[in-house]
Amino acid sequence: MQKPSQFDPALIPYCRQLVLVDYQHVPSAVAMATALHRIAPITRIVTQTEAAQLVAGHLTDVLGIPGTSERCARLLHDKSAMRALLNEKGIGAVPYAVNPTQEQLRAFVAAHGASIVKPTKGSGSLGVRRIESVENVDEVWAWCQSFELGEFQVEKLLVGPELSVEAFSESGRHTIIAVTAKDTGGGTVELGHVIPAPLTEEQFDRIREVTVRLLDAVGLEDGPSHTEIILTAEGPRIVESHTRRGGDRINDLVRMVYGVDMEEAAYRLVGEGAPLDGHLHPARGAAAIRFLTAAPGVVTSVTGVDKAQAVDGVVEVSVSVEAGSVVPELRWSDDRCGHVIVHADDADTAARLARTAADHVSISTEPVTDDCSGAHTAPDTLSSVLRPYDEVFDPFHETTAS
């Protein structure tokens, strides 16, 4: 089931049946799934995209079939609901507030120091801003209004190495497959990942414990999960989690190092045999991805791809822009310009080689002018950024509002 605007005809040979319908229009998705279920009973609903998680959980409940429930999907998709649950259960409590006024936001930062503002629903770092001090509150508040952020929350800034836990669950048993180390360059958008993360045994045990407690609390029974964690001085603290495999090609890094394809494992839940082949493979070296970025403007040239491909260990170099493309300000993951993937003997080497290869790729830009093709001068809003993707953060809110 896919939105007509997002459908890729290249998928046709791999699908037994295709349904083109806006799955984020919940009444249409329910009607279609119910009709299909009457014709040929549906065994399980699987999605690998964040935009479909809530609807997939809802349809699973409507059809009464095994899989991720709407409650589980909502607790992880809705960051305020997840934070409330974690704080209630004592799973690494973090101070937060939902939809504060400007004065309440100022008081929160005064009480807790540097903080993060983000939409209560969403992914890809879209709409995430740091508040360094009380002096920055008015600036960030003005941005929240101009960006039309909608429902948002503020949390105390968590400081420490950023990680994600790639796990797979079967009948409520959670297996940690990999821990990914992240690099944001001090910002909010991820610029690189490496697997396995350099951790001590004690750190790994604490990360595993908090992840399992979270997945138990939300009631995840089966399938992949991707849990983002910051290893603070007080211990691991959960940033967010998802009932899907990680984005940013993390699944490819996991497969290269551990021989596990988490997407394939999700589909194996409805087949014969164990989704994870009954065991985990030992690590085979390390893998890293480094994302390409460029200054905002119109791309004038892309050079150095051949040099990047020649770096030891490089598996893939992909550039998503070309001369004439318009590069926006780095607002979220989709504003990056490509990536480099490396496989090496260890994590340090993989990360270093990935950075070296990425540095070879030079994306030159010049400022956007009014006569540039495709340029726009209207200020960005949350809905305008999402519009080309035909996506909303909360399909249930959209259905109610319409």
Residue 301 falls within a domain, yes or no?
yes
Domain containing 166 — which CATH number? 3.30.470.20
CA angle 165, 397, 148 (to 5 degrees): 80
Residue 186 falls within a domain, yes or no?
yes
Residue 339 falls within a domain, yes or no?
yes
Spatial neighbors of 294 by CB under 8 A, at least 6 apart, are 321, 327, 337, 363, 364, 365
Query: What is the C-alpha separation between 40 and 147, in angstroms, rounded?
Result: 45
Q: Tell me the average pLDDT of the chain.
A: 92
CA dihedral 120, 49, 146, 156 (to 10 degrees): 40
Residue 304 falls within a domain, yes or no?
yes
pLDDT in tens, 278-315: 556 788 999 999 999 999 999 999 999 999 999 999 99
Residue 238 falls within a domain, yes or no?
yes
Answer yes or no: is pLDDT of 118 > 80: yes
pLDDT in tens, 177-211: 999 999 998 888 999 999 999 999 999 999 999 99
Domain containing 18 — which CATH number? 3.40.50.20
Q: What's 379's DSSP letter?
A: P
Query: What is the C-alpha separation between 333 and 180, in angstroms, rounded?
Result: 17
Domain extent for 193: 162-282
Domain count, the chain: 4
Spatial neighbors of 42 by CB under 8 A, at least 6 apart, are 33, 36, 63, 65
Residues 175 and 244 in one domain: yes
Max CA distance (Å), the chain: 61
* DSSP three-state, residue 158: coil
Both tokens assigned to 12 = 């046709």
pLDDT at site 371: 55
Answer yes or no: is pLDDT of 97 > 60: yes
Residue 113 falls within a domain, yes or no?
yes
Domain boundary among the residues 255, 282, 309 is at 282
Q: How confident is the model at residue 385 (pLDDT cuts 50, 70, 90)?
A: confident
CA 184 centroid distance within chain: 14
* DSSP three-state, residue 179: strand
